[in-house]
Every structure is written in structure tokens, then in C-alpha cells.
């Protein structure tokens, strides 16, 4: 093998390994997420294992990662009627939670709720969505599923106000 071929071989092998890894991980780029763009379509499961199409007819998508913002979202959603929750999709990004507490504590609590909570099983499910630590992410959509606004709420009052404004 020539000296030139030997010098390029590691680079070619590295590129090939990257290509194989990309294909095995589902390939393709992460969905684009930006105001003015359609919300990326996907199907996830709720806390009962039922399929939920996103964005579907959602006008508001809530996303939480940590426990405190999840408490805020659950408090506000629990205080609403089913009619008031219509058009709101709540995503609990729990893919990094250890399996033991997830199965024995968190999931049973979610299943006791009278509204749907979309749960994640990998970073690809909702990792592309914006997140601010200890905040509920609030994504507003128009009738066509296009993102019209993104904000964050750190309290029940702030989240309730955002949801009230979204209904107007």
C-alpha cells in the first residue's frame, strides 16, 4: 500500500464509521424547529401507551423536563376542564429518568391523571424543542400547525396567563 493511501485510510474508515452510525440511528438531520416553520410531525405515546399524533390539532404544546416545571404544568392542567384543555398537548420529556422510579412512581402518577401526557423514550422524541432549566416550555401553533411563538413559564400563574392568552 502506498504511503498516500496509508495516510488517507484512517480518515476514510472514520468517515465510513460515521456514516454507518448515522444510518443506524435513523439517519437524517434533526427536525427543524423555528418560529414560522411547521411543527415537526411525529407520533409519540401517552402515559397509557396510546399513540398521539403531533402536532395534530394542537394549538399549544407544553414541554417539561425537570420535576418542578412538571408540577407547574400538572397543577394548571388539573385545574382546567376537558374543554379548556382542548388543543393543549403536554409532553413530559422523561427519556433520561432512571427506569426504576419511572416505572414504579412517575408513570403510575401520570396514569392517574384525567388528561393525556405524552412521554418520551429518547432524545429524538422532543430533544429538538427549546428548553430552559426549571421552566415549562410553551409553544404556540396556528391552525396549520405552524409555530407562532415560544416562551417559558416558571410559575403556575405565568403558565395560566399564557394559556389564557392563547385561547383569545
The number of folded domains in the chain is 2
Same domain for 74 and 24: no
Same domain for 74 and 157: yes
| Domain span including residue 122 | 32-167
Q: Do residues 148 and 35 make contact, with C-beta atoms less than 8 angstroms apart?
A: yes
Same domain for 38 and 24: no
Q: What is the pLDDT of residue 167?
A: 87
- pTM of the entire structure? 0.81
Write out pLDDT tens, residues 146-167: 999 999 999 999 999 999 999 8
Same domain for 75 and 14: no
CATH code of 146's domain: 3.40.30.10
Write out pLDDT tens, residues 102-150: 999 999 999 999 999 999 999 999 999 999 999 999 999 999 999 999 9
Amino acid at each position: 500500500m502506498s504511503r498516500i493511501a496509508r495516510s488517507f485510510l484512517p480518515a476514510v474508515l472514520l468517515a465510513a464509521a460515521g456514516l454507518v452510525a448515522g444510518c443506524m440511528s435513523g439517519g437524517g438531520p434533526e427536525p427543524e424547529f423555528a418560529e414560522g416553520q411547521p411543527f415537526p410531525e411525529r407520533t409519540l405515546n401517552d402515559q397509557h401507551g396510546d399513540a398521539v399524533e403531533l402536532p395534530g390539532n394542537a394549538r399549544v404544546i407544553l414541554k417539561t423536563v425537570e420535576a418542578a416545571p412538571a408540577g407547574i404544568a400538572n397543577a394548571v392542567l388539573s385545574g382546567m376542564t376537558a374543554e379548556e384543555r382542548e388543543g393543549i398537548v403536554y409532553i413530559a420529556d422523561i427519556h433520561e429518568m432512571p427506569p426504576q422510579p419511572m416505572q414504579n412512581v412517575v408513570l403510575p402518577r401520570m396514569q392517574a391523571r384525567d388528561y393525556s401526557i405524552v412521554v418520551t423514550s429518547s432524545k429524538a422524541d422532543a430533544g429538538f424543542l427549546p428548553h430552559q432549566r426549571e421552566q415549562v416550555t410553551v409553544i404556540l401553533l396556528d391552525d396549520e400547525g405552524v409555530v407562532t411563538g415560544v416562551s417559558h413559564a416558571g410559575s403556575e400563574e405565568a403558565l395560566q396567563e399564557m394559556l389564557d392568552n392563547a385561547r383569545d
